[in-house]
Structure 1
Amino acid sequence: MKRRVIIVGGGFAGIFAMRRLRLSRRRLEVIVIDQRPSAHFLPLLPDMISRPIAPASVMHDLRAECRRWDAMFLHDEVAAVDVPGVAVITRGLGRLSADAIVLSCGTSTAFHGRDDLRPAVMKLDDVGDAVEIAARARSAHWKTALVVGGGYTGVEVATHLRRLENLRRSRRRIIILELAPVLLPGMPRPLSEYAAANLMRMRIEVMNNRTLRDVIDQDAILSDESVFKNVLIVWSAGVKTPAFLSRLNLGHDRQGRLDVDKHLQAAPGVFVAGDAAGRIGGGAALRMGVQFSISGGRRAAANILRSLDGRALKPFEPMDPGYVIPMANMRSCGEILGVSAYGLAPSMMHYLMSVYRTFGAKRLKLLGDILRRR
């Protein structure tokens, strides 16, 4: 009789967990569940605002991917997880029992209790969101763009809005609102200062210690009572995991990322990989990133195979290749293999790694999109 493994989420962690399980050539039934029919390459979503990147270049059909690896894809939404019973409950099919589960469901935009602002702002969770931001940014119906949140995504979005404005020979205001006293909170100070200087060079304003309080018609009211009329607003003030994860009787952080042991196991038979995994083995949470998602998905799958065989599990020991804070004028910054990098080199690394991580035949198409001038 086949053992069943259910993977919740078809992002990098989920796809690479599925591949690792199928490469074992075991008699396994592998099921991938995702509420989207395709995986979206998130690192390039901000680039779609000002660069001619086609949606098809950054989308990957999950049903076709699963068929290729002899796995089953279910286009459904997970409503709950029965941790003691090792089962998943979906909106469409109900209860699905398994021998092991991988929770690799990623994150989405967090509104921090301000769901009332959702209708007035745009987010950046998928390709559709990127297309909407790009279309609305090209319109003539706004005077000021407000980017709420001065983290990685907020900085990148603001620079692409400015690049698009430059291409259109327009000089409308672009402002980043950051509640913390510094840009890129949590980042090393030299990187934060470099990014702030580059934003100033690009004529992007940064307002610290402020956030969005309200939106009335097309006017934005900030926490310091200042008012901006005819605004375009992009909300990038943090992320959270799906609600069903935070409802589990398991340890998690304020973003809903689950605590796991050193083997990426949150409970017997329940493994967590990718951005859904928080503190590991009682230590700190890993930075969210593609490389950690890939290696985490592989390790979770390998440990499932070991657990099914009754063998000892192996610890998750990821290598940290670094990170890049991309900025649209090719003056990016970051750390690569532990060395701080500024300017063109981290920008090129961002695009080279994006092309490398893209699935299969889409790489050449994506490379052409990136190199093509608008």
Structure 2
Amino acid sequence: MTGKYGTSVPDARCTADPTLHRIVIVGGGAGGLELATRLGETLGKRGRASITLVDRNRTHIWKPLLHQVAASRLDMDDDELEYLAQARWHHFRFFNGAMDGLDREQRRIFVAPTVDEDGQEITPRRAVPYDTLVIAVGSTANDFGTPGVAEHAIALDSAEQAVRFNRKLINACLRANSQHEPLRPGQLHVAIIGAGATGVELAAELHKTTREIAAFGLDSVDFDQTAKLTLIEAGPRIVPQLPEPLSEGVADLLKGLGVDVLTGRKVTTITPEGVALEDGTFIASELKVWAAGVKAPAFLAELGLETNRINQILVRDTLQSTVDDNIFAFGDCAACALPNGSFVPPRAQAAHQQASLLLKAMKARLKGEALPRFHYKDFGSLVSLGKYSAVGSLMGGLIGGNVKIQGLFAKVMYKSLYKMHLIALHGWFKMLLDTVGRAVLRRTEPHVKLH
């Protein structure tokens, strides 16, 4: 296969020993950054391989936290991690830019140029050579071709989108509080399309947020009466990954908070004024969030690798692509078959398990040994409802999903998932210091981000 940009694109400048095996990881999400960190601490630190991470962003934030950023419950600056700093601390290299091409013959990926807010080029288009390529670019929202989604709704795929929604939310509250005329239809209404974990968690956090924003002097509007949340799900029930009794309990809790929960209702169009449903209902709403499905980034289907209808790279149980042994893929962007014919679900626990396997696989690859094979273990699902509760089903695939938890214990388990991510990136000691520091700061700062 000839590269998309031919041979005219120069290789990225790199001071690594050219004799070392070059492992390039594309995508610095939870799985990709964990793998780069652990490979850097083992192979990179000992001079056994050159490890490079490529990502379009300069900072990392754990994706399950984005709904809290959107709802003003979390200041992103407190939780994001600088890739360059992580690379320096853990013996790998970081290149900023989006992968947009692949030359399998010469074993190079192409990285798009980066520009600043004025359009001035920061880094040029360049190529990054590899001996082993690992693709972990995650997923994006799947709008299923629904008209108006791209123009009038916000997904929560990235930190930029979460911050954008947050600004719109705060501005909507300030605007409503300062205007003299009555609120128009749909003003201060939020419609969330998709009632999986992201949609449900966002609804619970937004209910608390609007009440706390009002406590900071926004007393011209009765937010309890005017701020409205509608959760729309095309399927028969919300959070379908949970057992039905827990799903029903979550729905009852949200309804008790005043959230309109609509199931079995398909969205047909999104307009500036609101959301149109298949049954003819129109829900007026100033803010719309799309959380109804995911797909892999479209550029993956143009790389010459085998992909499915949602752009995921098809991989074997070694996580190697089906057409090139030198290319691996994992996480949300990979389709890895399970023995029952289904595929590994797009969950953080799956990416963590696959990153652990690839750490072993890279070591085996350098030694010329057989690669380990991936066996997914379903440890269940957890859903946070903010300050109100948390629910979940533990050890789902191991004992049939019979252990159902909720309340304080479920909250602790949910928070422990993020702590495990921090441990993978920083180790136990830094995680403990970080936890103590956040607990102290939390007592001296507003519990909602107001700018």
TM-score when normalising by structure 1: 0.90
Q: Match of 1:170, SS?
A: helix
1:58 maps onto 2:60 in alignment? no
The answer as to 2:335 corresponding to 1:278 is: yes
Cα offset, 1:202, TM superposition: 1.5
Change (3 A) 1:355 1:53: farther
From 139, 150, 162, give the equivalent of 2:195: 150
CA contact (8 A) 1:303 1:313 kept: yes
**Structure 1: tracts of 5 or more residues without a match:** none
User: Is 1:291 matched up with 2:345?
Assistant: no
Partner residue, 2:120? none
Q: Percent identity?
A: 23
- Partners in 2 of 1:32 and 1:291 — Cα distance? 21
Question: Structure 2 residue aligned with 1:71, among 78, 84, 92?
Answer: 92
Moved more, 131-140 or 234-243: 131-140
Contact residue 57 and residue 365 of structure 1 kept, 8 A: no
1:81-119 deviations in whole A, cap 9, x for unaligned? Answer: 344654312223343331101111111222222374322
Shift of 1:355: 3.6
1:203 and 2:258 matched: yes
Letter in structure 2 aligned against 1:80 = G
Shift of 1:226: 2.0
Deviates more, 1:234-243 or 1:214-223: 214-223
Q: CA deviation at 1:230?
A: 4.5
The match for 2:275 is 220
One-letter amino acid of the counterpart of residue 130, structure 1: A
Contact 1:51 1:373 in 2 (8 A): no
Change (3 A) 1:137 1:356: same
The 1:345/1:186 distance shift into structure 2, 3 A limit, reads closer
CA RMSD of the aligned region, Å? 2.5
Q: Indicate the SS of the match to 2:355.
A: helix
Please name the residue that 1:38 is paired with. Answer: 59
Q: What amino acid maps onto 1:78 in structure 2?
A: M
Give SS of 2:50's match: strand
Displacement, 1:190? 2.0
Question: Quick one: distance in 1 between partners of 2:378 and 2:56?
Answer: 30
Structure of higher RCO (CA pairs closer than 8 Å, 6+ residues apart): 1
Alignment correspondent of 2:129: 97
Alignment partners' CA distance in 2, 1:76 and 1:348: 36
Give the corresponding residue for 2:154: 122
**CA shift for structure 1 position 368:** 4.8
Deviations 1:166-201 (A, max 9, x none): 333523221111112222235432222122111112
Give the 5 Å matches for 1:150-299.
150-167=195-212, 168=214, 169-171=223-225, 172-266=227-321, 267-280=324-337, 283-299=341-357
Task: Quote how far apart the aligned CAs of 1:6 are.
Answer: 0.8
Structure number having the greater strand percentage: 1
* Alpha-carbon distance in structure 1 between the residues aligned to 2:229 and 2:258: 8
2-side partners of 1:291 and 1:91: how far apart? 30
Q: Is the 8 A contact 1:9 1:106 kept in 2?
A: yes
> Would you say 1:353 and 2:417 are equivalent positions?
yes
| Cα distance, 1:219 vs structure 2 | 3.7
Cα 1:83–1:118, aligned 2, differ >3 Å: closer, same or farther?
Answer: same
The code of the aligned residue for 1:170 comes to D
Corresponding residue to 2:33 among 11, 15, 28? 15
Q: Distance in 2 between matches of 1:299 and 1:318?
A: 10
Counterpart-to-counterpart distance in 2, 1:369 and 1:170: 29
- Amino acid in the other structure paired with 2:280: E
**Deviation of the 1:207 alpha carbon:** 1.5
Quick one: distance in 2 between partners of 1:137 and 1:271? 40
Deviations 1:203-240 (A, max 9, x none): 11112232433344434333322223352111111122
Q: 2:167 aligns with which of 119, 135, 141?
A: 135
Q: Quote the Cα distance in structure 2 between the aligned partners of 1:233 and 1:123.
A: 9
Give CA-to-partner distance per residue, 1:97-145, whole Å, 9 cap, x none. Answer: 3110111111122222237432211221233332332333332452421
Kept in 1: contact 2:152–2:270 (CA 8 A): yes
Hey, what's the Cα distance between the residues in 2 that align with 1:124 and 1:369?
26
1:323 offset after TM fit, Å?
A: 2.2
User: What CA distance in whole angstroms lies between the structure 2 residues aligned with 1:318 and 1:369?
Assistant: 38
SS of the residue aligned with 2:248? helix
After TM superposition, give the deviation of residue 49 of structure 1 in Å.
Answer: 4.2
TM-score by length of 2: 0.75
Instruction: Indicate how the Cα distance of structure 1 residues 231 and 180 shifts in structure 2: closer, same or farther if over 3 A, else same.
Output: same
Shift of the 192–16 alpha-carbon distance from structure 1 to 2, 3 Å rule, reads: same
- 1:164 to 1:27, Cα distance in 2 relative to 1, 3 A: same
Q: Are residues 354 and 73 of structure 1, via their aligned partners in 2, closer, same or farther at CA, if it must alter by over 3 Å?
A: same
1:153 shift after superposition: 0.7
- 1:342 and 2:406 correspond: yes
Q: Does structure 2 conserve the Cα–Cα contact (< 8 Å) formed by 1:52 and 1:370?
A: no
Q: What is the distance in 1 between the residues matched to 2:228 and 2:73?
A: 23
Residue type of the alignment partner of 2:328: F
2:367 equivalent in structure 1: 309
Q: 1:39 to 1:238 in 2, by over 3 A?
A: same
**Alpha-carbon deviation of 1:354?**
1.9
2:388 is aligned with 1:330: yes
Give the match for residue 80 of structure 1.
101
Partners of 1:260 and 1:281 within 8 A in 2 = no
